[in-house]
Amino acid sequence: MHEATKAPKISFFDYIVIGGGTAGIPLATTLSAKYSVLLLERGGSPYGNANITSQLNFGNNFADTSPDSPSQIFTTEGVINTRARVLGGGTYINAGFYSRGEAQFNKEARLMDENLVQESYKWTERVMVFEPVVQEWPSAVRAALLEAGVTPDNGFTYDHIIGTKVSGKSRPMAYGVVFEDSLGNKHRAYLKGGKKDEIILSAGALGSPQLLMLSGIGPRKQLDALKIKVVLEQPFIGQGMADNPLNAVFIPAPVAVNPSGVQIVGITWFGSYIEEAGGFSFIFTPSPNYQGFSPQKINGPLSMGELKIENRNPADTPSVTFNYFKEPEDLRKCVKGVATILKAIESKAFSNYKFANMTVQEILDINMRLPGNDLVRSNTSLSLEQYCKDTVRTMWHYHGGCHIDKVIDHEYKVFGVDGLRVIDGSTILNSPGTNPQASVLMLGRYMGVTILGQRIACDKSR
Protein backbone atom coordinates (compact mmCIF):
# COMPACT_ATOMS: atom_id res chain seq x y z
CA MET A 1 0.00 0.00 0.00
CA HIS A 2 1.54 3.31 -1.14
CA GLU A 3 0.47 6.92 -1.45
CA ALA A 4 -0.03 8.00 -5.06
CA THR A 5 2.50 10.79 -4.52
CA LYS A 6 5.20 8.10 -4.52
CA ALA A 7 4.09 6.59 -7.81
CA PRO A 8 6.39 6.99 -10.84
CA LYS A 9 5.26 9.29 -13.62
CA ILE A 10 4.92 6.30 -15.95
CA SER A 11 4.54 2.63 -15.01
CA PHE A 12 3.51 -0.64 -16.65
CA PHE A 13 1.40 -3.59 -15.41
CA ASP A 14 -0.34 -6.74 -16.60
CA TYR A 15 -3.58 -5.62 -14.95
CA ILE A 16 -4.88 -2.29 -13.67
CA VAL A 17 -7.81 -2.52 -11.24
CA ILE A 18 -9.61 0.75 -10.52
CA GLY A 19 -11.32 0.71 -7.13
CA GLY A 20 -10.05 -1.00 -3.97
CA GLY A 21 -13.48 -1.93 -2.65
CA THR A 22 -15.59 -5.01 -2.04
CA ALA A 23 -14.95 -6.52 -5.48
CA GLY A 24 -11.64 -4.88 -6.34
CA ILE A 25 -9.60 -6.17 -3.40
CA PRO A 26 -10.33 -9.91 -3.80
CA LEU A 27 -9.97 -9.48 -7.57
CA ALA A 28 -6.57 -7.76 -7.36
CA THR A 29 -5.39 -10.17 -4.65
CA THR A 30 -6.18 -13.14 -6.86
CA LEU A 31 -4.61 -11.76 -10.05
CA SER A 32 -1.45 -10.63 -8.26
CA ALA A 33 -0.61 -14.21 -7.35
CA LYS A 34 0.74 -14.66 -10.90
CA TYR A 35 0.90 -11.26 -12.57
CA SER A 36 1.73 -7.63 -11.85
CA VAL A 37 -1.31 -5.64 -10.72
CA LEU A 38 -1.84 -1.96 -9.97
CA LEU A 39 -4.81 -1.39 -7.65
CA LEU A 40 -5.92 2.25 -7.59
CA GLU A 41 -8.09 3.52 -4.72
CA ARG A 42 -9.15 7.15 -4.37
CA GLY A 43 -9.69 6.96 -0.60
CA GLY A 44 -7.28 6.64 2.30
CA SER A 45 -6.32 3.79 4.58
CA PRO A 46 -8.93 2.45 7.04
CA TYR A 47 -6.35 1.36 9.58
CA GLY A 48 -6.23 3.46 12.74
CA ASN A 49 -9.68 4.95 12.11
CA ALA A 50 -11.83 3.96 15.11
CA ASN A 51 -15.02 4.78 13.21
CA ILE A 52 -14.15 1.91 10.89
CA THR A 53 -12.37 -0.60 13.08
CA SER A 54 -14.96 -0.44 15.90
CA GLN A 55 -18.50 -1.57 15.13
CA LEU A 56 -19.80 0.59 17.97
CA ASN A 57 -18.75 3.70 16.01
CA PHE A 58 -20.47 2.57 12.82
CA GLY A 59 -22.88 5.50 12.66
CA ASN A 60 -20.14 8.11 13.05
CA ASN A 61 -19.02 7.61 9.45
CA PHE A 62 -22.23 9.14 8.18
CA ALA A 63 -21.81 12.30 10.22
CA ASP A 64 -18.25 12.97 9.02
CA THR A 65 -18.39 15.56 6.23
CA SER A 66 -14.66 16.32 6.09
CA PRO A 67 -12.91 16.18 2.67
CA ASP A 68 -10.99 13.06 3.73
CA SER A 69 -13.94 11.25 5.28
CA PRO A 70 -14.27 7.57 4.33
CA SER A 71 -17.93 8.39 3.59
CA GLN A 72 -18.69 10.92 0.86
CA ILE A 73 -22.15 12.30 1.68
CA PHE A 74 -24.67 13.20 -1.03
CA THR A 75 -28.43 13.64 -1.15
CA THR A 76 -30.83 12.33 -3.76
CA GLU A 77 -34.62 12.64 -3.72
CA GLY A 78 -34.41 14.02 -0.18
CA VAL A 79 -32.60 10.92 1.08
CA ILE A 80 -29.14 11.34 2.59
CA ASN A 81 -26.78 8.82 1.02
CA THR A 82 -23.14 7.81 1.38
CA ARG A 83 -20.48 6.88 -1.15
CA ALA A 84 -17.48 4.95 0.19
CA ARG A 85 -14.11 6.72 -0.08
CA VAL A 86 -11.65 4.38 1.63
CA LEU A 87 -9.57 1.31 0.91
CA GLY A 88 -12.05 -1.52 1.45
CA GLY A 89 -14.98 0.46 0.04
CA GLY A 90 -18.49 -0.21 1.30
CA THR A 91 -17.28 -3.32 3.12
CA TYR A 92 -15.39 -1.10 5.54
CA ILE A 93 -18.13 1.41 6.31
CA ASN A 94 -21.15 -0.87 6.56
CA ALA A 95 -22.47 -2.72 9.60
CA GLY A 96 -20.47 -5.85 8.86
CA PHE A 97 -23.41 -8.16 8.20
CA TYR A 98 -22.39 -11.08 5.99
CA SER A 99 -24.79 -13.52 4.35
CA ARG A 100 -24.44 -15.48 1.15
CA GLY A 101 -26.73 -14.53 -1.70
CA GLU A 102 -29.40 -16.79 -3.09
CA ALA A 103 -28.97 -19.05 -6.11
CA GLN A 104 -30.94 -16.56 -8.24
CA PHE A 105 -28.08 -14.08 -7.88
CA ASN A 106 -25.57 -16.59 -9.28
CA LYS A 107 -27.86 -17.17 -12.24
CA GLU A 108 -28.36 -13.47 -12.95
CA ALA A 109 -24.62 -12.83 -12.53
CA ARG A 110 -23.84 -15.65 -14.99
CA LEU A 111 -21.70 -17.50 -12.44
CA MET A 112 -22.17 -20.98 -13.85
CA ASP A 113 -19.42 -22.86 -11.98
CA GLU A 114 -21.15 -23.73 -8.71
CA ASN A 115 -18.00 -25.31 -7.26
CA LEU A 116 -16.06 -22.10 -7.88
CA VAL A 117 -18.88 -20.05 -6.33
CA GLN A 118 -18.67 -22.10 -3.13
CA GLU A 119 -14.87 -22.07 -3.11
CA SER A 120 -14.88 -18.28 -3.59
CA TYR A 121 -17.22 -17.78 -0.62
CA LYS A 122 -15.02 -20.03 1.54
CA TRP A 123 -11.86 -18.19 0.44
CA THR A 124 -13.31 -14.92 1.75
CA GLU A 125 -14.72 -16.46 4.91
CA ARG A 126 -11.39 -17.96 5.97
CA VAL A 127 -9.90 -14.47 6.10
CA MET A 128 -12.55 -12.04 7.32
CA VAL A 129 -15.77 -13.68 8.53
CA PHE A 130 -16.76 -14.90 11.97
CA GLU A 131 -19.98 -16.00 13.64
CA PRO A 132 -20.89 -13.75 16.59
CA VAL A 133 -22.20 -14.88 19.94
CA VAL A 134 -25.85 -13.86 19.83
CA GLN A 135 -26.63 -11.63 22.80
CA GLU A 136 -29.80 -11.20 24.87
CA TRP A 137 -31.31 -8.41 22.75
CA PRO A 138 -30.94 -10.19 19.38
CA SER A 139 -32.27 -13.37 20.96
CA ALA A 140 -35.42 -11.50 22.01
CA VAL A 141 -35.76 -10.04 18.51
CA ARG A 142 -35.38 -13.51 17.02
CA ALA A 143 -38.17 -14.83 19.22
CA ALA A 144 -40.35 -11.80 18.43
CA LEU A 145 -39.89 -12.34 14.70
CA LEU A 146 -40.87 -15.97 15.08
CA GLU A 147 -44.04 -14.91 16.90
CA ALA A 148 -44.72 -12.48 14.05
CA GLY A 149 -44.40 -15.28 11.50
CA VAL A 150 -40.95 -14.38 10.12
CA THR A 151 -38.05 -16.76 9.53
CA PRO A 152 -34.88 -15.42 11.22
CA ASP A 153 -31.44 -15.81 9.65
CA ASN A 154 -28.20 -15.52 11.64
CA GLY A 155 -25.67 -13.51 9.64
CA PHE A 156 -21.91 -13.24 9.98
CA THR A 157 -20.75 -10.64 11.13
CA TYR A 158 -10.26 8.83 -8.65
CA ASP A 159 -9.03 10.62 -10.27
CA HIS A 160 -8.88 7.65 -12.60
CA ILE A 161 -9.57 8.10 -16.27
CA ILE A 162 -9.44 5.17 -18.65
CA GLY A 163 -7.30 5.68 -21.71
CA THR A 164 -8.40 4.13 -25.01
CA LYS A 165 -6.92 3.81 -28.46
CA VAL A 166 -8.35 2.57 -31.73
CA SER A 167 -7.04 -0.65 -33.24
CA GLY A 168 -6.79 -1.39 -36.94
CA LYS A 169 -10.37 -2.66 -36.87
CA SER A 170 -11.59 0.72 -35.54
CA ARG A 171 -12.52 -0.90 -32.25
CA PRO A 172 -11.63 0.98 -29.04
CA MET A 173 -9.09 -0.69 -26.75
CA ALA A 174 -8.33 0.25 -23.14
CA TYR A 175 -4.58 0.52 -22.62
CA GLY A 176 -3.87 2.81 -19.68
CA VAL A 177 -5.09 5.18 -16.99
CA VAL A 178 -4.29 8.66 -15.79
CA PHE A 179 -4.52 9.34 -12.07
CA GLU A 180 -3.83 12.40 -9.96
CA ASP A 181 -2.18 12.34 -6.55
CA SER A 182 -3.01 14.51 -3.53
CA LEU A 183 -0.51 17.15 -4.67
CA GLY A 184 -2.18 17.51 -8.05
CA ASN A 185 0.52 15.68 -10.00
CA LYS A 186 -0.55 13.46 -12.88
CA HIS A 187 0.66 9.88 -13.26
CA ARG A 188 0.16 7.45 -16.13
CA ALA A 189 -0.05 3.69 -15.83
CA TYR A 190 -0.11 1.54 -18.95
CA LEU A 191 -0.74 -2.10 -19.71
CA LYS A 192 2.41 -3.96 -20.75
CA GLY A 193 0.83 -4.95 -24.04
CA GLY A 194 0.30 -8.65 -23.45
CA LYS A 195 -2.55 -10.36 -25.28
CA LYS A 196 -4.54 -10.82 -22.06
CA ASP A 197 -3.62 -7.55 -20.31
CA GLU A 198 -6.70 -5.72 -19.05
CA ILE A 199 -8.07 -2.73 -17.21
CA ILE A 200 -10.82 -3.71 -14.78
CA LEU A 201 -13.27 -1.22 -13.31
CA SER A 202 -14.32 -2.05 -9.75
CA ALA A 203 -15.26 1.45 -8.62
CA GLY A 204 -18.81 0.55 -7.58
CA ALA A 205 -22.28 1.39 -8.81
CA LEU A 206 -21.56 5.13 -8.70
CA GLY A 207 -17.91 5.13 -9.75
CA SER A 208 -17.78 2.65 -12.64
CA PRO A 209 -20.48 4.19 -14.87
CA GLN A 210 -19.13 7.64 -14.01
CA LEU A 211 -15.59 6.75 -15.08
CA LEU A 212 -16.78 5.09 -18.27
CA MET A 213 -18.60 8.29 -19.24
CA LEU A 214 -15.64 10.49 -18.34
CA SER A 215 -13.54 8.28 -20.60
CA GLY A 216 -15.86 8.77 -23.56
CA ILE A 217 -17.99 5.63 -23.24
CA GLY A 218 -21.65 6.37 -22.56
CA PRO A 219 -24.76 8.24 -23.73
CA ARG A 220 -23.75 10.65 -26.49
CA LYS A 221 -26.00 13.47 -25.28
CA GLN A 222 -24.29 13.59 -21.88
CA LEU A 223 -20.81 13.37 -23.35
CA ASP A 224 -21.47 16.08 -25.94
CA ALA A 225 -22.87 18.41 -23.27
CA LEU A 226 -19.57 18.23 -21.37
CA LYS A 227 -17.43 18.27 -24.52
CA ILE A 228 -16.10 14.78 -23.85
CA LYS A 229 -14.87 13.03 -27.00
CA VAL A 230 -17.14 10.08 -27.77
CA VAL A 231 -15.05 6.91 -27.95
CA LEU A 232 -18.10 4.63 -27.98
CA GLU A 233 -21.75 5.58 -27.76
CA GLN A 234 -23.37 3.40 -25.09
CA PRO A 235 -26.86 4.55 -24.03
CA PHE A 236 -27.27 1.91 -21.29
CA ILE A 237 -24.43 3.14 -19.08
CA GLY A 238 -25.91 4.79 -16.01
CA GLN A 239 -29.31 3.15 -16.52
CA GLY A 240 -31.09 0.81 -14.11
CA MET A 241 -29.73 2.43 -10.93
CA ALA A 242 -31.34 1.06 -7.78
CA ASP A 243 -31.01 1.26 -4.01
CA ASN A 244 -32.90 -0.93 -1.57
CA PRO A 245 -35.05 1.46 0.50
CA LEU A 246 -34.70 1.19 4.26
CA ASN A 247 -37.50 1.98 6.69
CA ALA A 248 -36.59 1.65 10.35
CA VAL A 249 -38.71 1.62 13.51
CA PHE A 250 -37.01 2.89 16.66
CA ILE A 251 -38.61 1.95 19.99
CA PRO A 252 -38.22 3.79 23.32
CA ALA A 253 -36.97 1.06 25.63
CA PRO A 254 -37.48 0.87 29.42
CA VAL A 255 -34.14 -0.94 29.82
CA ALA A 256 -30.64 -0.40 28.50
CA VAL A 257 -29.60 -2.60 25.60
CA ASN A 258 -26.02 -3.66 25.08
CA PRO A 259 -24.63 -2.94 21.60
CA SER A 260 -25.14 -5.91 19.32
CA GLY A 261 -24.66 -4.66 15.79
CA VAL A 262 -26.65 -6.60 13.24
CA GLN A 263 -26.85 -10.27 14.24
CA ILE A 264 -30.33 -11.34 13.22
CA VAL A 265 -32.28 -10.86 9.98
CA GLY A 266 -35.87 -11.95 9.49
CA ILE A 267 -36.71 -13.25 6.02
CA THR A 268 -40.37 -12.57 5.23
CA TRP A 269 -42.56 -14.50 2.83
CA PHE A 270 -43.48 -11.35 0.87
CA GLY A 271 -39.97 -10.16 0.01
CA SER A 272 -38.54 -7.98 2.77
CA TYR A 273 -35.66 -8.51 5.17
CA ILE A 274 -36.09 -7.23 8.73
CA GLU A 275 -32.85 -6.59 10.58
CA GLU A 276 -32.06 -6.21 14.26
CA ALA A 277 -29.77 -3.38 15.37
CA GLY A 278 -29.68 -3.01 19.13
CA GLY A 279 -27.98 -0.77 21.59
CA PHE A 280 -26.80 1.91 19.19
CA SER A 281 -28.43 4.23 16.72
CA PHE A 282 -28.65 2.72 13.25
CA ILE A 283 -29.35 6.12 11.75
CA PHE A 284 -29.91 8.94 14.27
CA THR A 285 -31.72 8.95 17.60
CA PRO A 286 -32.29 11.84 19.99
CA SER A 287 -31.71 9.86 23.16
CA PRO A 288 -29.71 6.81 24.29
CA ASN A 289 -33.01 5.34 25.50
CA TYR A 290 -34.06 4.75 21.91
CA GLN A 291 -32.95 1.30 20.81
CA GLY A 292 -32.82 0.68 17.07
CA PHE A 293 -34.87 -2.41 16.33
CA SER A 294 -35.68 -2.96 12.71
CA PRO A 295 -34.26 -1.56 9.58
CA GLN A 296 -36.28 -3.17 6.79
CA LYS A 297 -34.84 -3.87 3.35
CA ILE A 298 -37.12 -4.29 0.33
CA ASN A 299 -35.69 -7.02 -1.86
CA GLY A 300 -34.97 -6.28 -5.51
CA PRO A 301 -36.15 -3.54 -5.72
CA LEU A 302 -38.32 -3.10 -8.81
CA SER A 303 -37.99 0.71 -8.76
CA MET A 304 -35.03 2.04 -10.74
CA GLY A 305 -33.52 5.37 -11.78
CA GLU A 306 -30.44 6.61 -13.60
CA LEU A 307 -27.01 8.15 -13.15
CA LYS A 308 -25.76 11.23 -14.98
CA ILE A 309 -22.46 13.08 -14.88
CA GLU A 310 -22.76 16.84 -14.35
CA ASN A 311 -19.10 17.81 -14.75
CA ARG A 312 -15.73 16.33 -15.68
CA ASN A 313 -14.42 16.01 -12.14
CA PRO A 314 -14.22 12.32 -11.17
CA ALA A 315 -13.98 13.25 -7.46
CA ASP A 316 -17.52 14.65 -7.49
CA THR A 317 -20.47 12.34 -6.95
CA PRO A 318 -22.56 12.14 -10.12
CA SER A 319 -26.25 12.97 -10.17
CA VAL A 320 -28.23 9.83 -9.39
CA THR A 321 -31.87 8.95 -8.83
CA PHE A 322 -33.17 5.68 -7.42
CA ASN A 323 -36.90 6.48 -7.63
CA TYR A 324 -37.71 4.98 -4.23
CA PHE A 325 -41.18 3.34 -4.20
CA LYS A 326 -41.91 4.37 -7.78
CA GLU A 327 -43.14 0.83 -8.39
CA PRO A 328 -46.29 0.07 -6.29
CA GLU A 329 -45.05 -3.41 -5.43
CA ASP A 330 -42.07 -1.97 -3.54
CA LEU A 331 -44.41 0.20 -1.48
CA ARG A 332 -46.71 -2.77 -0.75
CA LYS A 333 -43.71 -4.75 0.53
CA CYS A 334 -42.71 -1.87 2.77
CA VAL A 335 -46.20 -1.63 4.27
CA LYS A 336 -46.25 -5.36 4.98
CA GLY A 337 -42.77 -5.13 6.47
CA VAL A 338 -43.61 -2.28 8.85
CA ALA A 339 -46.81 -4.08 9.87
CA THR A 340 -44.73 -7.18 10.65
CA ILE A 341 -42.29 -5.11 12.73
CA LEU A 342 -45.19 -3.65 14.72
CA LYS A 343 -46.57 -7.12 15.29
CA ALA A 344 -43.20 -8.27 16.58
CA ILE A 345 -42.97 -5.24 18.89
CA GLU A 346 -46.26 -6.24 20.50
CA SER A 347 -45.21 -9.86 20.94
CA LYS A 348 -44.66 -11.49 24.31
CA ALA A 349 -41.00 -12.15 23.48
CA PHE A 350 -40.36 -8.43 23.02
CA SER A 351 -42.37 -7.22 26.02
CA ASN A 352 -39.30 -6.45 28.19
CA TYR A 353 -38.03 -3.94 25.61
CA LYS A 354 -41.20 -1.90 25.14
CA PHE A 355 -43.08 0.42 27.50
CA ALA A 356 -46.29 -1.44 28.33
CA ASN A 357 -48.56 1.58 27.93
CA MET A 358 -47.10 2.81 24.63
CA THR A 359 -49.21 2.15 21.52
CA VAL A 360 -47.82 1.37 18.09
CA GLN A 361 -49.35 4.62 16.82
CA GLU A 362 -47.31 6.55 19.39
CA ILE A 363 -44.19 4.68 18.31
CA LEU A 364 -44.84 5.54 14.67
CA ASP A 365 -45.46 9.21 15.53
CA ILE A 366 -42.18 9.34 17.46
CA ASN A 367 -40.38 7.95 14.43
CA MET A 368 -42.00 10.53 12.16
CA ARG A 369 -40.29 13.25 14.20
CA LEU A 370 -36.83 11.68 14.16
CA PRO A 371 -34.21 13.10 11.77
CA GLY A 372 -32.95 10.90 8.99
CA ASN A 373 -33.78 12.46 5.62
CA ASP A 374 -34.59 15.85 4.08
CA LEU A 375 -38.17 15.04 3.12
CA VAL A 376 -40.98 17.31 4.26
CA ARG A 377 -43.32 15.31 6.49
CA SER A 378 -45.95 15.68 9.18
CA ASN A 379 -45.60 14.86 12.88
CA THR A 380 -47.99 11.95 12.80
CA SER A 381 -48.37 8.81 10.73
CA LEU A 382 -51.79 8.67 9.06
CA SER A 383 -51.08 5.43 7.21
CA LEU A 384 -48.30 2.90 6.75
CA GLU A 385 -48.01 3.97 3.10
CA GLN A 386 -47.29 7.51 4.25
CA TYR A 387 -44.90 6.23 6.91
CA CYS A 388 -42.89 4.33 4.28
CA LYS A 389 -42.66 7.32 1.96
CA ASP A 390 -41.85 9.85 4.68
CA THR A 391 -39.26 7.83 6.60
CA VAL A 392 -37.42 6.20 3.69
CA ARG A 393 -33.67 6.02 4.09
CA THR A 394 -30.91 4.33 2.15
CA MET A 395 -29.76 0.77 2.73
CA TRP A 396 -26.44 1.70 1.04
CA HIS A 397 -26.98 -1.19 -1.37
CA TYR A 398 -26.54 0.74 -4.62
CA HIS A 399 -26.41 -1.34 -7.74
CA GLY A 400 -26.89 -0.99 -11.49
CA GLY A 401 -25.48 1.32 -14.13
CA CYS A 402 -23.46 -1.36 -15.99
CA HIS A 403 -25.89 -4.26 -16.27
CA ILE A 404 -25.05 -7.62 -17.78
CA ASP A 405 -26.40 -7.96 -21.35
CA LYS A 406 -26.67 -4.17 -21.59
CA VAL A 407 -23.17 -2.84 -20.90
CA ILE A 408 -21.12 -6.00 -20.30
CA ASP A 409 -21.22 -9.55 -21.62
CA HIS A 410 -21.27 -12.77 -19.58
CA GLU A 411 -17.51 -12.51 -18.99
CA TYR A 412 -17.93 -8.94 -17.66
CA LYS A 413 -16.22 -7.50 -20.74
CA VAL A 414 -17.52 -4.12 -21.88
CA PHE A 415 -19.36 -4.43 -25.18
CA GLY A 416 -17.48 -2.81 -28.05
CA VAL A 417 -14.19 -2.29 -26.20
CA ASP A 418 -11.13 -4.53 -25.98
CA GLY A 419 -9.14 -4.96 -22.77
CA LEU A 420 -11.83 -3.59 -20.46
CA ARG A 421 -14.11 -5.25 -17.91
CA VAL A 422 -16.42 -4.09 -15.13
CA ILE A 423 -16.62 -6.29 -12.04
CA ASP A 424 -18.55 -4.81 -9.11
CA GLY A 425 -22.02 -3.90 -7.85
CA SER A 426 -22.80 -1.82 -10.93
CA THR A 427 -23.39 -5.07 -12.84
CA ILE A 428 -25.97 -6.44 -10.38
CA LEU A 429 -29.61 -6.70 -11.50
CA ASN A 430 -31.09 -7.30 -8.01
CA SER A 431 -29.38 -6.84 -4.66
CA PRO A 432 -28.73 -10.36 -3.34
CA GLY A 433 -29.86 -11.69 0.00
CA THR A 434 -30.02 -9.66 3.17
CA ASN A 435 -26.83 -7.82 2.24
CA PRO A 436 -24.81 -7.87 -1.02
CA GLN A 437 -21.41 -7.75 0.71
CA ALA A 438 -20.78 -11.50 0.66
CA SER A 439 -21.90 -11.89 -2.95
CA VAL A 440 -19.74 -9.01 -4.24
CA LEU A 441 -16.69 -10.32 -2.36
CA MET A 442 -17.37 -13.72 -3.91
CA LEU A 443 -17.79 -12.13 -7.35
CA GLY A 444 -14.36 -10.48 -7.13
CA ARG A 445 -12.68 -13.74 -6.20
CA TYR A 446 -14.70 -15.80 -8.72
CA MET A 447 -13.82 -13.54 -11.64
CA GLY A 448 -10.19 -13.27 -10.51
CA VAL A 449 -9.84 -17.06 -10.57
CA THR A 450 -11.65 -17.21 -13.92
CA ILE A 451 -9.46 -14.55 -15.55
CA LEU A 452 -6.32 -16.13 -14.10
CA GLY A 453 -7.30 -19.53 -15.45
CA GLN A 454 -7.99 -18.16 -18.92
CA ARG A 455 -4.64 -16.36 -19.04
CA ILE A 456 -2.61 -19.30 -17.78
CA ALA A 457 -4.28 -21.54 -20.39
CA CYS A 458 -3.49 -18.97 -23.10
CA ASP A 459 0.15 -18.73 -22.04
CA LYS A 460 0.53 -22.53 -22.10
CA SER A 461 -0.96 -22.77 -25.59
CA ARG A 462 1.70 -20.55 -27.12
Higher pLDDT among residues 102 and 219, named by residue: 219
**Pair (265, 345) in one structural domain:** yes
Alpha helices in 109-186 (DSSP H): 114-128, 136-147
318 labeled part of a ligand binding site: no
**pLDDT over 80 (residue 282):** no
Tell me, yes or no, whether 91 and 200 share the same domain. yes
331 in a structural domain: yes
343 CB burial (10 A radius; 0-12, 13-18, 19+): middle
User: Out of 160, 187, 397, 399, which one is annotated catalytic?
Assistant: 397
Distances (CA, A) of 331 to 242, 363, 373: 15, 20, 18
Q: Note whether residue 449 is domain-resident.
A: yes
Residue 315 domain flag: no
Structural domain ending residue among the three candidates 394, 411, 445: 394
**pLDDT band for position 260 (cuts 50, 70, 90):** low
- The answer to whether residue 2 is catalytic is no
Q: Region 11-28: what's the mean pLDDT? A: 97
pLDDT attached to residue 162: 45
- In this prediction the pTM is 0.90
Is 60 part of a structural domain of the chain? no
Q: What is the pLDDT of residue 155?
A: 46
pLDDT in tens, 303-345: 999 999 999 999 999 999 999 999 999 999 999 999 988 998 8
333/212 same-domain check? no
Asked if 229 and 254 sit in the same domain, the reply is no
Most confident of 158-162, 296-300, 413-417, 453-457: 413-417
Tell me: is residue 410 an annotated ligand-binding position.
no
The enclosing domain of 351 has a CATH number of 3.30.410.40
Among residues 282, 285, 257, 262, the alpha carbon closest in space to that of 273 is found at: 262
What's 181's domain CATH number?
Answer: 3.50.50.60
- The tally of domains found in the chain comes to 2
- Report which DSSP code applies to 70: S
Same domain, residue pair 409 and 422? yes
Q: Say if residue 281 is in the same domain as residue 388.
A: yes
- pLDDT of res. 284: 31
Is residue 436 part of an annotated ligand binding site? yes
Q: Is 177 annotated as a binding residue?
A: no
Q: Supply the pLDDT for residue 212.
A: 97
Residue 157 has pLDDT above 50, yes or no: no
> Do the domain assignments include residue 312?
no
The Cα 154–Cα 160 span in angstroms is 39
Asked whether residue 204 falls in the same domain as residue 288, the answer is no
pLDDT above 70: percentage of residues in the chain: 89
Query: Does residue 460 surpass a pLDDT of 80?
Result: no
Select from 362, 378, 394 the last residue of a domain. Answer: 394
* 437 labeled part of a ligand binding site: yes
| In a shared domain, residues 26 and 101 | yes
Query: Are residue 178 and residue 278 in the same domain, yes or no?
Result: no
Instruction: Among 80-94, 159-173, 268-282, 422-436, name the one with the lowest average pLDDT.
Output: 159-173
CA-to-CA distance for 262 and 283, rounded, in angstroms?
Answer: 13
Which among 367, 394, 421 is the end of a domain? 394
Q: Identify the DSSP state of 26.
A: H
- Assess whether 291 and 379 both reside in one domain: yes
Residue 144 lies in a domain: no
At residue 152 the predicted structure's pLDDT band, cuts being 50, 70 and 90, is low
In a shared domain, residues 264 and 222: no
Of 156-165, 177-186, 234-243, least confident by mean pLDDT is 156-165
pLDDT of residue 289: 45
Q: Are residues 176 and 290 in the same domain?
A: no
Mean model confidence pLDDT for the chain:
86
Range of the domain at 265: 245-305+320-394
Q: What pLDDT shows up at residue 129? A: 84
Whether residue 69 lies inside any domain: the answer is: no
Residue-level pLDDT at 285: 31
